[in-house]
Amino acid sequence: MSDSPEKLSVWCAGEEWCPITTTASLIGKKWHPVIIHRLLDNGPSGFNELKENVDGISSKVLSDSLEDLQEKGLVDREVINEQPFRVNYSLTEHGESLESVITEMAAWGQTYLQEPTEADEPTE
Amino acid sequence: MSDSPEKLSVWCAGEEWCPITTTASLIGKKWHPVIIHRLLDNGPSGFNELKENVDGISSKVLSDSLEDLQEKGLVDREVINEQPFRVNYSLTEHGESLESVITEMAAWGQTYLQEPTEADEPTE
DNA sequence: CGGCATCCACATGGATACTG
DNA sequence: CAGTATCCATGTGGATGCCG
């Protein structure tokens, strides 16, 4: 885990390649940061275990997100049992390397955000 | 700028409020991190100046994103001249406080990502 | 210059049901 | 348990044109 993995080649939206745009394309999806956060926190997890921890996600969206994260090389999927069928989702080296980013996001949220009260509820 | 602003009340997707989910909802849009990054880097900017710096964005999307960021209390808009018409977009205190997150994202991208070559181009 | 209006394509997300 | 299938609503992004 300590030896840095080779760099990921990732495309980027704009004309010229930009680290932050590209990073945003990796984790700038609604559920990706949370999924990675849960995997960092709880370690390798099964599908439904992850679904419980990522509060409010549907199986389809979790399935789609995990597939996306696998394609991006951040998450690993391993079948650990056939009967009963069990899989294990874990972070790759790249996925784990995101800890600093995820931690920073969580810390920022802790510091600068608060849970809204009923009074804040948008009446719109 | 040094006194920490009051916390933002932001809704979150899941059942229970979660800092990282909520943070992700603030900056987990395709262009938001880049826009904030550019404002951090170049300071307050006009609309087209920002459009140039955020490489590849259309005016509609930039307009939408800026509106979203204003609603979320991260960006300020100020009309600084009527004739010729000029506005200035800048970061609020909350927006500036995101520097650590944005920096971490950019640093991660620098370390773990590389610009893909033609060979990596998806033929799909 | 700094947008908004319009239109449209596609992506994303959610609910529900069903399968091996 | 670990998904897939389906359907549908909404979101997001891009192109173009126009306006004060």
Asked whether strand C has any atom less than 7 Å from the CB of B86, the reply is: yes
Say what the pLDDT of residue A88 is. Answer: 97
Question: Best mutation site among A10, A12, A17, A20 for testing chain B: the one with the most B CBs within 10 Å?
Answer: A20
Residue A13 lies in a domain: no
- Residue A19 preceded by cis peptide, ω within 30: no
Residue A112 lies in a domain: no
Which among A6, A3, A33 has a CA at the least distance from the CA of A98? Answer: A33
pLDDT surpassing 50 at residue B7: yes
A43: domain CATH number is: 1.10.10.10
How far apart are alpha carbons A89 and A100 in whole angstroms?
Answer: 20
Q: Identify the residue with better confidence: B5 or A63.
A: A63
**What is the per-residue pLDDT across B8-27, written as a single tens digit (0 to 9) for each?**
888 877 778 889 989 998 88
Say what the pLDDT of residue B79 is. Answer: 95
Residue A46 lies in a domain: yes
pLDDT surpassing 90 at residue A4: no
How far apart are alpha carbons B106 and B104 in whole angstroms?
Answer: 5
Q: Is B22 left (phi over 0), alpha (psi -120 to 50) or beta?
A: alpha
How far apart are alpha carbons B76 and B70 in whole angstroms?
Answer: 6
Angle at the Cα of A45 (from A114 to A80), degrees rounded to 5?
170
Please state the domain count of chain A: 1
Is the separation of the CB atoms in A97 and B107 below 8 Å? no
User: DSSP class of residue A55?
Assistant: T
Asked whether strand C has any atom less than 7 Å from the CB of B78, the reply is: no
Residue A9 lies in a domain: no
Q: Which nucleotide is nearest to A87 (CA to C1')?
A: D2
Token representation of residue B99: 């520097």
**What is the per-residue pLDDT across B36-87, written as a single tens digit (0 to 9) for each?**
999 999 999 999 999 999 988 999 999 999 999 999 999 999 999 998 899 9
A71 Cβ under 8 Å from any chain B Cβ: no
Residue B2 lies in a domain: no
The DSSP code sequence of B34-92 is HHHHHHHHH-SB-HHHHHHHSTT--HHHHHHHHHHHHHTTSEEEEEEETTTTEEEEEE-
Residue B118 lies in a domain: no
Between CA A58 and C1' D8 the distance (Å) reads 15
Residue A116 lies in a domain: no
Between CA B71 and C1' D2 the distance (Å) reads 40
- Residue of A8, A37, A120 lying closest to B20 (CB–CB): A37
Residue B77 lies in a domain: yes
- Domain of B33 in residue numbering reads as 19-104
**What is the per-residue pLDDT across A14-70, written as a single tens digit (0 to 9) for each?**
778 889 989 998 988 889 999 999 999 999 999 999 999 998 899 999 999 999 999
Tell me the β-bridge partners of A31. Answer: none
Average pLDDT over residues A88-111: 95
Between CA A42 and C1' C11 the distance (Å) reads 30
Is B33 in contact with A16 (Cβ distance < 8 A)?
no
